[in-house]
A and B are shown apart, each in its own frame.
Chain A
Amino acid sequence: MDLNAVIDSAVSAPAASASDYKGLSNVATTNACKLCTPLGATLAFKGVEGAVSFLHGSQGCATYMRRYIISHFREPMDIASSSLGEKNAIYGGGPNLKKGLLNAMQKYGAGVIGVATTCLTETIGDDVARLLTEFREEFKDLPLAELVHVSTPSYSGTHMDGFHGAVKALVDQLCPGSRENAAPANSRVNLFSGMVSPADIRHLKEIFRGFGVEAIVLPDYSETLDAPALLEYENIPSGGTSVADIRAMSGARASVELGRAISTQDTAGTSLNERFGTPLFRLGLPMGIRETDALFATLKSITGVDTPRDLLLERGRYIDSLVDGHKYVSGLKAVVYGEEDLCIGLTSFLAEIGVHPVLVATGARNRNLSAHIEAACGSVLREMPPHLRPIIREGADFFDIVEEAKTLAPDLLVGHSKGQRAAREWNIPLLRVGFPIHDRFGGQRLLHLGYRGAQALFDRLVNLVLEKKQNDSDIGYGYL
C-alpha cells in the first residue's frame, strides 16, 4: 500500500482550468442561491460539545440566521449576539463583545464560545483576536470558556466559506502547536465532513466504525441539531465533538476531508497536515457509486480493513435497484443548484444513473467547479453526448438559473427548497436535498451520502418521476 501516493493523488487539486462562467451581466442579485458567511460558521460551531455560537455584530443578523436554521432543523438554535448599537458601531464593539462573552459563559455555562464576525464588525474593523486576548487577560481569575474566533464578512464568500473557516479556526485554535507538542498517537481518524445533514454524519460515523475506526468528526451536530424530546430543556444541547477530541486530532492516524471545491491550502485538514504531518485524504462528498467507492478505498488504505459485508450488501442492493429503476429516469434532464460541493456530488450521482445534469449552478464564485465536476464524473460525463453535458455556472442567483434553465427544458430540479417556485411554474418535480429544506418535513434526516444515501436519493427520485407520471396521466395506472 503506497499511502503517500494515495495521499498525493487525493490532495492535489485537479488541473486548474478557469471556470467558463464569465458572470451574467446582472448587477443586482435576485433570489440569491447562497447565504451569508457567518451562517455557516454558526452551524459549524454548533457541532462542538458545550459550545455556544456567538455573532459579533448587531442583533438582527443573529435573529435572522436563527430563524432560517430553525426552520430547517426544527430544533432550538441559539445564537448569542453582542447586540451592537449605534454607539458601538462608532466606538467599536469591544465592550459589548466582552460583556456578551461573560453572559454566554455565566448564563449558558458555555464551555466553548465560537465567535464569528459579521459585516458590521468587519467593516468597523474590530480586531476580535486582540479583543479575545484582552478578555482572557482581564478575566483570568474566572474559569473561562474556550474562545474560538473566525472572520466571516459576507461581502466576500458564502456560508460555505464561513463553515470551512470555522472548522479550520476550531482546529487551529483548539489544537494548536506542531509536531513537538502533538497529542499522543492514537488510532483514530479525523473526519471533516463539510456541511452535511445530521443523518449523513451519523451514517459516516457508522461507516468508519465498519472499518474499525472511531472517527473524530468535526463538526458533529448530528445530536445537537437533531435531538430527542427532552424532559429538561438544555441550554446547550448534548452532543458535539469534545474539545479533548479536537486536541487529539494532532495524534490521529489520518484526516479525511470531504469536498473537492474547498480551497486546497487553507483548511482544517491541510493545517493538521502541515503542523503535525497528519496524512490528509481529500475526497469528494461520497455521493453515488464512484465517489463512495473512493471513500471506502481510502478507508481501506488507512485501516487495512476490507469493506464490511453489510456495507457491500448496501452497494449491491443499490446497483440492483439501478437495474430495476434506470428506465424511469434514463435520459431525463436535470438542473442542479446549491453549494459547490453538493453540486459536484449530485452531478456525479445523476450522471451515473443516466440523468443528464444539463445545468449546474452555485452562488459561490471562484470554485473551479467545471474542473471538479469533470474530475468527479470522469468517464460517465465524457461519454455523454456533447450537447447534454452540463453548463456550469458560478456566482449564479435564481434569476440566472431560471433564465438559463428555460432554454434547456429540464425535466427535473435537484437542490434545496428555494427552487420550488421554478419547479412549480414549470410543473416538474424538485428532488429536495441539502439545506435549507423549508417547505418539506425532515430535512435534518435526509440522507445523501454513502451507498445508503444514494439509495435514498434514487428511491425518492424515481418516486417523484412516477408520481408525476401517474398524476399527469388520464388513466392513472395502478402499476407503474
Chain B
Amino acid sequence: MTETAKALTPEHIACPEDSAAIPAERATIFEERKDQIHRVGDGDFAMACNRDSLAGAVSQRACVFCGSRVVLYPIADALHLVHGPIGCAAYTWDIRGALSSGPELHRLSFSTDLQELDVVFGGEKKLAKALDELIPRYEPKAAFVYSTCIVGLIGDDLAAVCKAASARHGIPVIPVQSEGFKGNKREGYLAACKAMRTLVGTGETADISKLSVNIMGDFNLAGETWIIKDYLNRMGIEVVAGITGDGRVDDLKRAHGAALNLVQCSGSTQDLAKMMREDFGIPFLRVSWIGIEDVAESLYAVAEHFELTQPELAAGMVERTALLVRDELATLMPQLKEFRRDLEGKKAAVYVGGSFKAFSLVKAFRHLGMEVVIVGSQTGTEDDYRELAAICAPGTIVVDDANPLELSAFLKEKDVDIFVGGVKERPIAFKLGVGFCDHNHERKIALEGFVGMLNFAKEVHASVMSPIWQFVPRRESQNRPIEEA
C-alpha cells in the first residue's frame, strides 16, 4: 500500500539566493559523463543514471559482489563463503561496523581461494569440500555462497553444489549470484534479496504480534538498528527481523510474520520488500532514520499506518509517538543549538552510496545552519536526483557516480568546509584540506535516530571547527594577504 510515506515527500524549500558563479571551464568532466552531472537552476533537469562505469575513469563504484556482500554481511549466524580467488574475500574481511548482539561469524572471511588448477578444471569440488569443512566447524544456521567474476566464467554450477551441501548438512546453503562483472552494486542488492527470499516464509510466525515490523535496509552500524528498535518498542511495536542489521537466519525465516516492512536506503532491500508484498501481502513504508524530520516523520508514518490498519490494537500509538519525539527533541535541540552557533553558514558536500541518504543529509545539515553545495551518490535514479535537485539551492551540483577528479574540482570550486562520504573520498577531501565525516558502511559512530543527529553534529563540529584548517595551503593562502595588510 503506502509505498512512499508522506514522510519523504521532499518539501520544496524556498531557495536562498546563491551567488556561486558557474565556471565556464569544466574540463575535469569527462565528455561522456556530462549528463550524469546537473547544476540546480542550470537548465531543465535531465540525468542519465545507472550507466556502466566509464572505462579508464577511476570510478568509486563497486561490483555486483560488493552489493550482495554489503547487504548480507550483517547476518551474524550465517557462514559467508566467497567462492573465487582470494582478493574478493580478503578485501571484505571485517571491514564494516555492523554489530551483532550474539554470534559474530560474519566477521570472519571465508574463501575457496581458487588456484590455477581450479580455474582450469572447475571449482565445484573445492567448493563442496570447503562447505563440508566449514559447516561442521562453525555450525552456522545457514550458509551464503557468493560467486565472483571467475566463477561466472569457469561455469561452476553453484546452485547444484549448494543444494547438495544443504542436503548433506541440513541447513540452507544459498547461492548468491553475484558475479562482479554482471552489473554494479544494484544488481548485487537484487541478488542478495533473492538469496534472502529463499529463507523468508520458512519459519514459524504464530506468536508474532499484529503490531510488528521488519527493519529493512539498516545494517546496525555502530548499533543503529538497536536505536530504532528501541523507538519502535516504546511505541508498542514488535520488531521481527533486522534485515539485515543484527540479522539472524531464524529471524529472516519468520520475517513474513511481520505486519509491515520499514525500508530504508534507496536500493539495498527494497527488492525483498517488493517480493514480500507480492508473496505475503506485507505492505512496506519507505523510511529514513537519518536527520530529525525524517526520523520523526518515519515514526509517525508507522504509527499512522497501524492506527489505520489496527485501530483497536494500535489505539493511541500516534500520541505515544508524539510523546517519544517530544522527549527526544527536548534533549536533542538545546545541544544542537550549541553546535549550530559555530557551524552557521558553513558549506558541505555530500557524496554517499544511496541517494536516499543524501536527502536526509541535506536536511540534517539544515539543522546545523549549513548549506549543501554538492550532492551525489553512486546509485541514484533519475527521479531521485530530480527530487534532490528540488530541495537544494540554485548552484548546487548534483552528480551521479563521480570520480576523484570531478569531486576534487567541485570541492575546490565550492570551497566547502566539510565533505560527507565514504572511506574512498576521505583522502581527496583531506588532501585539499577539507573537513570530513565518514558516512558509509565502515562508520563506527551511530548516526541514525535522534541521538545519531547529535553524534553527527559532534562529528561535523569536531572536524569543521578544528584549528588545523588555518594551516592547510588552501586557507593559508586565503589568510596571508589579510595578515600582511
Interface residues in chain A, defined as those with a beta carbon under 8 Å from any beta carbon in chain B: 26-32, 34-36, 38-39, 54, 57-68, 70-71, 73-86, 88-89, 96-97, 99-104, 107-108, 118-120, 123-124, 153-156, 158, 227, 229-233, 235, 418, 421
B89 interface hit (Cβ, 8 Å): yes
Q: Which of A65, A74, A82, A107 has the most CB of B within 10 A?
A: A107
Q: Offer 29 A-B interface pairs, CB within 8 angstroms, sorted by A.
A: A28-B110, A32-B90, A32-B109, A54-B56, A59-B53, A59-B62, A60-B181, A65-B87, A70-B427, A74-B426, A77-B427, A81-B59, A83-B56, A83-B59, A85-B181, A89-B152, A97-B55, A99-B55, A100-B56, A103-B54, A119-B84, A119-B85, A120-B180, A120-B181, A153-B119, A155-B114, A155-B115, A156-B115, A231-B474
0/1 per residue, B463-475, Cβ < 8 Å to A? 0000000001110
Cα distance, A100 to B55, chains bound together (Å): 4
B313 interface hit (Cβ, 8 Å): no
**From A418, which residue of chain B is reached at the shortest CB distance?**
B93
Contacts of B280 in A (CB 8 A): none
Q: Are the CB atoms of B431 and A28 closer together than 8 Å?
A: no
Q: A38-B87, A229-B430 are in contact. List 6 more A-B contacts (CB 8 A).
A: A79-B58, A101-B56, A119-B87, A120-B153, A154-B87, A229-B472
Q: Which of B95, B111, B118, B428 contacts A76 (CB 8 A)?
A: B428
Cα distance, A227 to B184, chains bound together (Å): 32
Minimal beta-carbon separation of B168 from chain A (angstroms): 15
Cα distance, A267 to B110, chains bound together (Å): 32
**From A395, which residue of chain B is reached at the shortest CB distance?**
B113
Contact size range, B: 35 or more
Q: Are the CB atoms of A30 and B109 closer together than 8 Å?
A: yes
Q: Are the CB atoms of A67 and B184 closer together than 8 Å?
A: no
Instruction: List residues of B (359-394) whose CB comes within 8 Å of A's CBs.
Output: none
Minimal beta-carbon separation of B156 from chain A (angstroms): 12
Cα distance, A75 to B404, chains bound together (Å): 12
Q: Are the CB atoms of A58 and B63 closer together than 8 Å?
A: yes
Cα distance, A96 to B181, chains bound together (Å): 13
Q: Are the CB atoms of A80 and B57 closer together than 8 Å?
A: yes
Contacts of B134 in A (CB 8 A): 28, 30
Instruction: List residues of B (428-442) whose CB comes within 8 Å of A's CBs.
Output: 428, 430-433
Contacts of B472 in A (CB 8 A): 229
Minimal beta-carbon separation of B425 from chain A (angstroms): 9
**From B150, which residue of chain A is reached at the shortest CB distance?**
A119
B81 interface hit (Cβ, 8 Å): yes
Minimal beta-carbon separation of A388 from chain B (angstroms): 30
Q: Are the CB atoms of B87 and A36 closer together than 8 Å?
A: yes
Cα distance, A418 to B85, chains bound together (Å): 19
Q: Which of B91, B119, B149, B473 contacts A57 (CB 8 A)?
A: B149
Cα distance, A120 to B94, chains bound together (Å): 25
Q: Which of A63, A84, A99, A154 contacts B59 (CB 8 A)?
A: A63
Q: Are the CB atoms of A102 and B56 closer together than 8 Å?
A: yes
Cα distance, A78 to B57, chains bound together (Å): 9
Q: Which of B57, B424, B431 contacts A233 (CB 8 A)?
A: B431
Known: A76-B427, A89-B181, A120-B150. A32 touches B30 (CB 8 A): no
Minimal beta-carbon separation of B423 from chain A (angstroms): 6
Q: Are the CB atoms of A233 and B428 closer together than 8 Å?
A: yes
Q: Are the CB atoms of B112 and A29 closer together than 8 Å?
A: yes
Q: Which of B89, B91, B112, B412 contacts A68 (CB 8 A)?
A: B91
B48 interface hit (Cβ, 8 Å): no
**From A231, which residue of chain B is reached at the shortest CB distance?**
B473
Q: Which of A28, A58, A88, A230 has the most CB of B within 10 A?
A: A28
0/1 per residue, B333-375, Cβ < 8 Å to A? 0000000000000000000000000000000000000000000
**From A86, which residue of chain B is reached at the shortest CB distance?**
B182
Contacts of A27 in B (CB 8 A): 112, 126, 129-130, 133
Contacts of A31 in B (CB 8 A): 93, 108-109
B66 interface hit (Cβ, 8 Å): yes
Minimal beta-carbon separation of A88 from chain B (angstroms): 8
Minimal beta-carbon separation of A81 from chain B (angstroms): 7
5 tightest Cβ-Cβ pairs between the two chains A and B: A60-B63, A103-B56, A36-B87, A100-B56, A100-B55
Contacts of A26 in B (CB 8 A): 133
Q: Are the CB atoms of A36 and B112 closer together than 8 Å?
A: no
Q: Are the CB atoms of B55 and A29 closer together than 8 Å?
A: no
Q: Are the CB atoms of A84 and B129 closer together than 8 Å?
A: no
Q: Are the CB atoms of A235 and B405 closer together than 8 Å?
A: yes
Contacts of A64 in B (CB 8 A): 62, 66, 87-88, 91-92
Q: Are the CB atoms of A70 and B473 closer together than 8 Å?
A: no
Cα distance, A27 to B133, chains bound together (Å): 7
Q: Which of B60, B66, B181, B412 contacts A84 (CB 8 A)?
A: B181
B4 interface hit (Cβ, 8 Å): no
B52 interface hit (Cβ, 8 Å): yes
Cα distance, A26 to B113, chains bound together (Å): 11
Minimal beta-carbon separation of B208 from chain A (angstroms): 36
